[in-house]
Structure 1
Amino acid sequence: MAQWKVWIMGLVLVVLSGCSPLTVHNESVGSTTILRADGKLQVLFLDVGQGASQLLISPSGKTMLIDAGNNDKEQVMLDYLKQYQITKLDIVIGTHPDADHIGGLDKVIDQTIVDKIYMPKISSNTRTFESLLESISNKKLKVQTAKAGLTLDWDKEVQVEMIAPAAVYDNANNMSAVVKITYGTTTLLLTGDAEAASEKDMIKSGVDLSSTVLGVGHHGSKSSTSLTFLNKVKPQYAIIQSGKDNNYGHPDKTILSRLKKAGASVYRNDLQGTVSVISDGKNVTIATERKEK
């Protein structure tokens, strides 16, 4: 109890309007915590190293998990769900078959109640993908195809639209499920590993891509976040999910420069840990797990 009191006393919320972001860092106990923001929309860009995972909690408490990091992050994912008191996931989305996105989903499904699951119509011959299918089968879940044009039934106050994949691609990254979340006047665009070809087709579809927050595609790789796409999204904030000292050079300096020139404030898992985006339908607040080093 004393630990919670120390944390709460040190917590000051900053509504972002050109101000500094909230950094939740408890020096007294040497640990960091980001609490649930009940009654608001919360999107947690979980720190899963060189991978991706977003946990969404709606104003009414509905839950959604998009991806779950790599195979070695299975216990990390289970710990996150416990931390945020998640025992049921109303929607699970596996954006595409890459291990750094679906590696932890099998254990999540094994040990959590799941209502619906969406995945794009593309398979993989990896053991990671096979393990996920086994977990889905064991729970007697039916995979629904993730594709452009779907509106997901989640929370009556929050609109969830799937805007990609808008075509069929040989490249698994371009088959990534892309989700746009709208709550009041605030919006988030979560892009998986979608690359330039998918971005081009999203633009061609005529869908409104403008978003308050952009989940930057493919961990900040230069294969994604094309200038044309970024000019359509016009994000105020951009979140990059990549791991420390990764072998891919993520995030790419070109993309960081592009985001800066676009006027987006950038947050990164590798530098700041888990990033929490909280919306009351009008304003967005961002909290980071640790101070940037």
Structure 2
Amino acid sequence: MKTSKSTYTMIVSMLAALLMLVVAGCSIGEMADSGTTEPADGQKLKVYFLDVGQGASQLLVTPSGKTMLIDAGNNDKEQTMLDYMKKYHISKLDVVIGTHPDADHIGGLDKVIDQIPVETIYMPKVQSNTKTFESLLNSIKNKGLKVKTAKAGLSWDLDDQVHVDMLAPKGTYEDTNNMSAVVKVTYGRHSFLLTGDAEAESEKAMLASGADLQADVMLVGHHGSNSSTTLNFLKQVNPKYAVIQVGKDNKYGHPKSAILNRLQKQGVEVYRNDKQGTIEITTDGKSIHIVTER
């Protein structure tokens, strides 16, 4: 069958146009998955690993403006915490979690609760006879709050897009570090595992529970101490990024070289408060963007 010149030209033009559409489609798909596009304002989960020196504090702000504060540094960081609340325009805290009674985690919480309305507070069922703990309980009482027990198995939606699972503590431990509340926060494809001072015993219990521990971002347990971040636990979490909340020239020698080497061998990109100040990690559920203070 003989094809006319005009028909041949039309077929070639149609094939060329189809090829352009296919190529354009591939480019769009690659761009969506590359993680290079900056998430749009109002659609991001923001997680701030606040620089509170030798202590820990994480502030989360959801796309709809819901807020969650986990720990608040030591007693000498009370004003620092209030300054952070002002800087990030926090007028209300929907959820507060005191991971465990150590002063370098709950020391600044009393003043935060004194100054900012709190909807819900979680703490593990463990007591401490310190003035720091007593001061926190007084602030909670004065605000008419009732503490909910932090324990494995709890879950809730921080908003309609951000889900929180509490993975520890599982059971009761003599060491208060192992009583640390551990939470996994998920938004879209990405998740954060925030571990408090949970040590090897708690990590083993989480592994045995069969919980989904995988997370893109992991707060390294106990400021990078040898007591935490066991190899089995790290492999199960399989993070791309890790944050170590630690102060400069601290007396504990955190983070330990063995933990840094372990993270490096697993190909984890590490961020540290002592070197980079406050670390802000944002995600639109598809990509992750990290900004450091210095």
Name the TM-score, length of structure 2 as normaliser.
0.86
- Larger radius of gyration between Structure 1 and Structure 2: 2
1:85 pairs with one of 86, 89, 93: 89
1:45–1:37 Cα change, 3 Å: farther
Asked if structure 1 preserves the Cα contact closer than 8 Å seen for 2:240 and 2:268, the reply is: yes
1:138–1:243 Cα change, 3 Å: same
RMSD: 1.8
Task: Give, in whole Å, the separation in 2 of the partners of 1:238 and 1:98.
Answer: 22
Deviation readout 1:69-121 (Å, 9 max, x if unpaired): 00000000000000000010000000000000000000000000100000000
1:58 pairs with one of 54, 57, 62: 62
* Alignment pair present for 1:277 and 2:281: yes
Secondary structure of 1:254 counterpart: helix
1:43 alignment partner in structure 2: 47
Deviation readout 1:233-272 (Å, 9 max, x if unpaired): 0000000000000000100000000001111100000000
Uncovered stretches (5+) of structure 1, i.e. residues with no partner: 1-14, 23-35
Secondary structure of 1:43 counterpart: strand
One-letter identity of the residue aligned with 2:74? N
2:201 alignment partner in structure 1: 197
Deviates more, 1:151-160 or 1:124-133: 151-160
1:143 alignment partner in structure 2: 147
Name the TM-score, length of structure 1 as normaliser.
0.87
Count of aligned pairs between the two proteins: 261
Uncovered stretches (5+) of structure 2, i.e. residues with no partner: 1-31
State the 1:154 CA deviation: 1.4
State the 1:47 CA deviation: 0.1
Percent of residue pairs bearing the same amino acid type: 67
Q: Give the number of the structure with larger relative contact order, counting CA–CA contacts within 8 Å between residues 6 or more apart.
A: 1
1:225 alignment partner in structure 2: 229
Secondary structure of 1:214 counterpart: strand
1:120 pairs with one of 115, 118, 124: 124
1:37–1:108 Cα change, 3 Å: farther
Task: Give, in whole Å, the separation in 2 of the partners of 1:85 and 1:129.
Answer: 27
* Alignment pair present for 1:101 and 2:105: yes
1:30 alignment partner in structure 2: none
1:243 pairs with one of 238, 244, 247: 247
1:73 alignment partner in structure 2: 77
